[in-house]
Chain A
Amino acid sequence: MPHLGKPHWLRELIAVWGFAQRNYYLTKRYFWWDLVWLVYTTANALSIGFIGVAAQQSAETTSQFTTFLLIGTLIWSYLSMLFDILSETVSWERWEGTIEYTFMSPASRATHLIGTSIYAVIYGIVRMIIMLVTISLFFDLRLSDANYGAAFVVLAVCSVSLVGFGMVAAVMPLLSPEKGQQVTFIFGSALLLVSGIYYPIDVLPGWMQALAKVSPVYYALDGIRAALMEGAALGSLWRYIWPLIIMGAIFPPLGIWIFQQGEQFAKRTGRLKRSG
């Protein structure tokens, strides 16, 4: 029993790798499905880009508007992928019938969610790069001044807080095996609506603008747009980064805590058991 003699942190680290590797195996097995999904989202992004072109303004403003829309589309595709993978952690395992085996293993819930998040981040970035390359073949994007490094930093910081959001959403199928997953869709659509993905949040009613201020996606999009379209330096993006750092410090621990409470509730009420 060599694993019993290992320090706790090492066993947890091996388990983190286990969760990330498992999701890689699943992507490999569902490769064609993933490819179809990638084609679908890329086609969606292209159609949104053509809406920008159809606005028929001057060449410069068309390029600017199209770039604005496509950055929103790409970043949303990445962040929503991250959110979806996290929020489906429970429902997917329940569907496969493996949830009880995962929950009775000694790997901690933090390890479970962190392992899933690491894979989601890597998978989402690869997917976004493929989409960006494809889209740039179709449109004249205004990225000549882009500060890619600064944009990447904003995206990375935002990913941490969105992982926390995903963890909170993931608890829903634990609380309600039948309706929980649908509730996570409401989380996702609320983020899409208020975060200024396809429009500046100024066009929203005041109460929606207030909601946008607690969405990490809003700060990420504004910061990334400033970095890519205006070449803003990292220092000038601080006003976007500090709220993301605060959210990144609050949401993941909060998400893990809420998930643990949900797990206790499911264990008391017998809801872990596979249904359907």
Chain B
Amino acid sequence: MDKVYQAENALELRDAMKRFKKKRNEYSTALKSVSITVKRGEVVGILGPNGSGKSTLVRVISTLIIPDGGDVRVFDIDAVRHPKEVQRHINRVSVEASFFKKMSSMENLIYGAKLYGVTDRESKPKIREILGSIGFDLNRVNEPMEHLSRGMQQKIALARALLTSPMLMLLDEPTTGLDPRSKKDVQALIRGIRHTHDASILLCTHDMDEAEELCDRIGIMLDGDIIALDTPHALKQRYQQDGQAPNLEEVFMAATGASMEDIEAKKLEEEEKKAGVK
């Protein structure tokens, strides 16, 4: 436990690689050779189009995918060799809220907390406190999850992660698909996590404004590789032209040679072409 508290970095990835077998002798590379460090208390964003490897990166850190090579250390613990030790200190919120939809939010949260060794007596007051702080109507706490809006479900997903007091939060597109109001609420909650829960955060998103607003440093990810990683200010300086500071969207275009939408459209076209060939 001391080792965890003494570690300088929340996360260190060195040359993490992963490829998946598609067919005989055919592989797709999800992570080429990714290196990234998240310091304790830092919020690092990973900005990239769909299919750039963001979710694989989060799954590797979450111990859900074993990398083919490289080093993954969470609070200086080797996540590949000692996944159980790492799992105690991390939690994750993904684009899909992923709950037992017939169970109520209270039941889902109590269950989720127990998997981390948190008893009912410890979790129930904390659940009410967290739900209260995110503006969740406590009268609805016993309603099945399927009756709640997606925005509400995503807030419950964040509450589930917070219940286990993670020291590293992995947020994989937590606001994708939410209406503007819910998106703002969830972003405010993420901002609050940093201050009230003293957690380090890795936030994967393809929302430029979200990345700029919430992150200390931003990495641009493309085709399984992080091609730039710096503070928003430094990234803008690096890619400025004619003395004018670009916005993050222009930074992304300068770094990748195309807009996020163009890259996604091209990828889709390639996939459709491949499917057509079959």
A residues whose Cβ falls under 8 Å from a Cβ of B: 1-4, 6, 10-12, 14-15, 17-18, 21-22, 25-26, 29-30, 96-98, 100-108, 264, 267-270, 272-274
Contact = CB atoms under 8 A, between A and B. Distances in A.
B136 interface: no
B258 interface: no
Contacts of A29: 102-103, 144
B277 interface: no
Contacts of B160: 101
B119 interface: yes
Nearest to A268: B66
Nearest to B80: A267
Interface in B96-148: 96, 98-103, 107, 110-119, 122, 144
B117 A269 contact: no
Contacts of B116: 3, 11, 15, 105-107
A111 to B, nearest CB: 9
Contacts of A25: 100, 103, 107, 111
B111 to A, nearest CB: 4
B176 to A, nearest CB: 15
24 contacts: A2-B122, A6-B117, A15-B116, A15-B117, A18-B114, A21-B111, A22-B100, A25-B103, A25-B111, A26-B100, A30-B102, A97-B98, A97-B99, A98-B100, A100-B62, A103-B64, A104-B62, A105-B115, A106-B84, A106-B115, A267-B64, A268-B66, A270-B30, A272-B65
Given A104-B64, A106-B84, A267-B65, A10 B117 contact: yes
Per CB-CB distance, the 7 closest pairs between chain A and chain B, nearest first, are A18-B114, A11-B117, A105-B115, A29-B102, A3-B117, A106-B87, A1-B165
Nearest to B30: A270
Contact of B111 (A3, A22, A274): A22
B58 to A, nearest CB: 10
Nearest to B96: A97
Contact of A15 (B66, B98, B110, B114): B114
